[in-house]
Amino acid sequence: MRFIFKTNYAQDVNLAKHGGHVFWYSALMLLLVAAPWVFAEYWLAQLTLVLIYSIAGLGLMLLAGFTGLFSMGHAAFLGVGAYTHAVLTNMGVPFPIALACAAGLSAAVGLVVGLPALRVKGIYLGIATLSFGFIVEEVLARWESVTGGNAGVHIKKPNIFGWVLNSGEEFYFLCLVITVFATLGILNLLRSPTGRAFVAIRDSEISAQSMGIHLAYYKTLSFAISAAFAGVAGALYAHNLQFISPDQFNILQSIDLLLMIVIGGVGSVHGAFLGAIFLISMPQAIGMVKDYLPAAIGQAPGLQGLVYGLVLIAFVLFEPMGLYGRWLKIRTYLQMFPFYRKGMFKRQKSFQKSDRLK
């Protein structure tokens, strides 16, 4: 068991709380930088996809996990980002500028979607964002002069002021750099007044307001930041597939994103990454197991959906804190061995919260 002896406030503020953090995160970074030489091309492509989904996951985590606003139409922001980026790139705009525009436009759309969030809560916000998702999908399909309709759009290779990223390795590094920046940005927000305001809104709106937090401002801000992250992820997603069409940004994609953060662990930054790893590796795992199953099950359509559904139900029932929560338990078990008790993470039920003023 590690006891941290704090001697100054900077220890609280720093991202790395102790030597263990520095060591393990440096090791992870080294592995990620060395990945193109370690992994085969196919696995590198999968890793790239994990990074892209992680960025979208980070955004949704900020919104759902830290501000408490669930969005069921998050793929729409992904789509807005992807299409904005594709159109601009095909017009010859350099990658960084096109990416900034994709993020900006997504954020602007997020701002507009955030407005109903000021009035509706919980399941009703879910319905509002769900219908927004359908609207965007429809717009992408119908606005043929810009989006190419259901036929989709091909997108050119990323071009950073004349440097064209042709290989998978180069694109991987681009994604890695953006992911690192996105992660640091979210972590910075969470350790500063802005992030604390989000958490305050999640836990008690009424007292957040009486602490001087402007609810409308921070809720729309959360939507905008979350949408901007989805927009960036969408832009990279478009490059990754080199072809986008409206049906890639439908409700199934939204559900995948939501599934990702719930399974990863709502309310933890790690959860976004663990969820992305789960989401990308699951089809692979199913593919591998398929051949050993009886044909009636293995070849049945909808096997993946069934497995996802079962896994989600299992997590909600047995591990509401997701993969990250499970990891926390394992870590505590090892740290405290043999003193770990089963009920350690049990939350005491409390019946004192007032709903009167909500």
Partner 1 sequence: MNEILLSAKNLSVRFGGVLAVNNVSFDVKQGEVFTLIGPNGAGKTTVFNLISRIYTPTMGEIDFAGPDGMLKLTTQPPQNVASLGIARTFQNIELFEHASVLHNLLIGRHTHRVTGLWQDFFFTSKTREAELKAREKAEEVIEFLSLQHYRDTFVAGLPYGVRKVVELARALCTEPKLLLLDEPSSGLNVEETDDMAFWIQDIKNDLGITVLMVEHDMTLVSKVSDRVLAMNQGEMLAMGTPREVQTDPGVIEAYLGSIDDVSSLRRDRSIEASPPGARAHLP
List residues binding partner 1 (CB under 8 A): 9-10, 12-13, 185, 188-189, 191-197, 199-200, 202-204, 206-215, 221, 267, 347-348, 350, 352-354, 357
Least distance to partner 1, CB of residue 94, Å? 23
Least distance to partner 1, CB of residue 185, Å? 5
Residue 82 vs 261, nearer CB to partner 1: 261
Residue 190 vs 286, nearer CB to partner 1: 190
Nearest to 186 by CA among 104, 69, 267: 267
C-alpha distances in angstroms, 184 versus 46, 244, 287? 22, 29, 34
Least distance to partner 1, CB of residue 270, Å? 16
Residue 47 vs 230, nearer CB to partner 1: 230
* CA–CA dist 304, 286 (Å, integer): 7
Least distance to partner 1, CB of residue 225, Å? 8
DSSP 293: S
* CA–CA dist 261, 274 (Å, integer): 8
Is residue 22 within 8 A of residue 16, CB to CB? The reply is yes
Token pair listed for 46: 């999968």
Least distance to partner 1, CB of residue 12, Å? 6
Tell me how far apart the terminal alpha carbons of the chain are, to the nearest angstrom: 42
Is residue 296 within 8 A of residue 348, CB to CB? The reply is no
Residue 194 vs 245, nearer CB to partner 1: 194
300 membership: H or E segment, kind and range:
none
Residue 49 vs 228, nearer CB to partner 1: 228
